[in-house]
Amino acid sequence: MTEHYYSKNPSSEMKIKKIKAILRGNELEFYTASGTFSLNSVDKGSEILINYCDIDETGKEKYNKNIGKRILDLGCGYGPVGIAIAKTFPECEVVMTDINERAVKMAGKNSRLNGIENTKIVSGNMYESVDGEFDVILLNPPQSAGRKLCFEMIEKSVDFLNKGGSLQIIARKNKGGEVLGKKMEEIFGNLDVLAKKSGYWLYISKKLN
C-alpha cells in the first residue's frame, strides 16, 4: 500500500532538509521531512494561496490593522501557509492542524525557526482538534485523497466559521478545482474567485448567516 502525506504516522525513514521561500514579501525558512507534502519547495498552490488570500475581507473596519482575526490553516503540512500568514499579520491568531504527526512536528519546528509567536499547532484529522470559530479558513485540499474527503472539509467548515467569515481554497481549476468551487457555492450560497494563476484558482465563499 502506498503511503501518502496524509497518513497519520508516516513509516518512511525521516530525512530532513531545509528550504527557503519568499512568501507575501517575507523571506522564510522551512525544515521539510520525507513523508510530508512538497518537501523540496513550497508548492505553487500554497504559494498562490499565501500571496492572494484575503485576510481583511471579513473586517468591517479595514483601516484598523490590529483587528486580531482567528485564522485556521487546515491541513498545514510543515507550515508554509500558516507561518507566512502569521508573519504577515502578527495581530492574528493562526491555528494550524494536520493529521500527519510528522508534518505537525515540522510545523512547530518551523514556527520557532522563523520566530513566529502567534501560531498554535495541533495534530488531528480535519477539525477534530480545533476549538472555537474562525474568521478565515485556508485550505490547499488533499485532492489525491479523494473528492469525498475534500467535500467533507468544505461541508464541515461552516460549523467553524464566524458569521461573515470565509473559506478560501486553492485548486487547479481543470483538475478538480471547478467541482470543489461548485460544492462551496452549494454549501455557502455564494462563490467568488480571488486569483487565477498558473492554472490554479483561489476560491472564496462567505458564511452569511
The CATH number that applies at residue 53 is 3.40.50.150
For residue 112, tell me if it sits in a domain.
yes
DSSP assignment, residue 145? G
Give the C-alpha separation, 105 to 34, whole Å: 12
The sign of the torsion formed by the CA atoms of 173, 177, 183, 184 equals: negative
- Phi then psi dihedrals of residue 206, to 5 deg: -115, 145
Q: How many domains does the chain have?
A: 1
Is 60 contained in some domain?
A: yes
The stretches of 74-169 forming alpha helices (DSSP H) are 80-88, 101-113, 147-157
In a domain, 5, yes or no: no
At residue 32, the pLDDT reads 93
Q: Report d(CA 71, CA 55) in Å as an integer.
A: 8
Instruction: From residue 54, give the alpha-carbon distance in Å to each of 78, 137, 194, 206.
Output: 22, 10, 8, 11
* Amino acid 39: pLDDT: 74
Residue 202 within a domain: yes
Domain residues for 147?
16-206
Which pLDDT tens digits describe the chain residue by residue (209 residues)?
A: 344 455 565 556 678 999 999 999 999 999 998 778 777 899 999 999 999 999 973 444 444 444 569 999 999 999 999 999 999 999 999 999 999 999 999 999 999 999 999 999 999 999 999 999 999 999 999 876 678 999 999 999 999 999 999 999 999 998 889 999 999 999 999 999 999 999 999 999 999 98
Domain-embedded: residue 146: yes
Residue 53: inside a domain: yes
pLDDT value of residue 14: 76
- Name the 3-class secondary structure at 187: helix
